[in-house]
Amino acid sequence: MLKTYIKWLYIILLMPLLASCSWEDLPAYEDANIEGAQFYFRWASDDKDAITGEPIVKEIQLNSSSKINQDAGTVDVTITVPAASNNFPESARQKCSLDQLWAQVTLSTAARLTPINGSKPLGTPDNWNQEHQYEVMAANGTKKTWTIRVVSFTK
């Protein structure tokens, strides 16, 4: 019985603290920027899944650097394919090309990204031989169009 009273006392004391925060108090971030881009290559390895017998898909992050022009809304990416290793066999390295890369970007806080003008959603394989456009919307509703292009791909 005493435990029940103590629980209710805690709830009553904590109520003002819970009610003091509202969504209006949160900052409405206004930046709609892409702050970096990363690229990955995935391949079906020779390893097989123990249950299905299907090849296990492996992934490697490609070495990349991004030149970002926030005024123009462009991201120019230079990609270098890493050397073959135990985790990245030469057979997979030879298949690595701009035709089938996965990309991800780092956005401004609380921003959202939407593919436009025929670009595929990030996180799906895509052909990066041509530029891609995305709309980034800040938390406050500000929108900005961004173009991502691979300007150099070196094996």
CATH no. for 29-154: 2.60.40.4120
8 Å CB contact between 142 and 28: no
Pairing of strands 143-154, 74-80: parallel
How far is 119 from 146, CA to CA, in rounded Å? 11
Tens of pLDDT, residue by residue over 121-143, are 999 999 999 999 999 999 999 99
pLDDT at 89 over 80: yes
Q: Categorize the per-residue pLDDT at 146 as very low, low, confident or very high, splitting at 50, 70 and 90.
A: very high
- Determine the pLDDT at residue 21: 55
Burial classification of residue 107, based on how many CB atoms lie within 10 Å of its CB (0-12 exposed, 13-18 middle, 19 or more buried): buried
How far is 111 from 122, CA to CA, in rounded Å? 15
* Residue carrying structure tokens 């292009």: 149
* Residue carrying structure tokens 């895509």: 126
- The alpha carbon of residue 114 and the mean position of all alpha carbons in its chain are separated, in whole angstroms, by 12
Structure tokens at 107: 């956005």
- Determine the pLDDT at residue 85: 95
Structure tokens at 66: 């991004």
pTM, to two decimals: 0.79
- Determine the pLDDT at residue 115: 98
8 Å CB contact between 60 and 131: no
How far is 84 from 5, CA to CA, in rounded Å? 67
Tens of pLDDT, residue by residue over 4-15, are 767 666 666 666
- Determine the pLDDT at residue 2: 61
Q: Which long-range contacts (C-beta less than 8 Å, at least 24 apart) are formed by 114-118?
A: 116/145
- Write out the DSSP string of 96-155: --GGGBEEEEEESTT-EEEEETTPPPTTS-B-TTS-EEEEEE-TTS-EEEEEEEEEEEE-
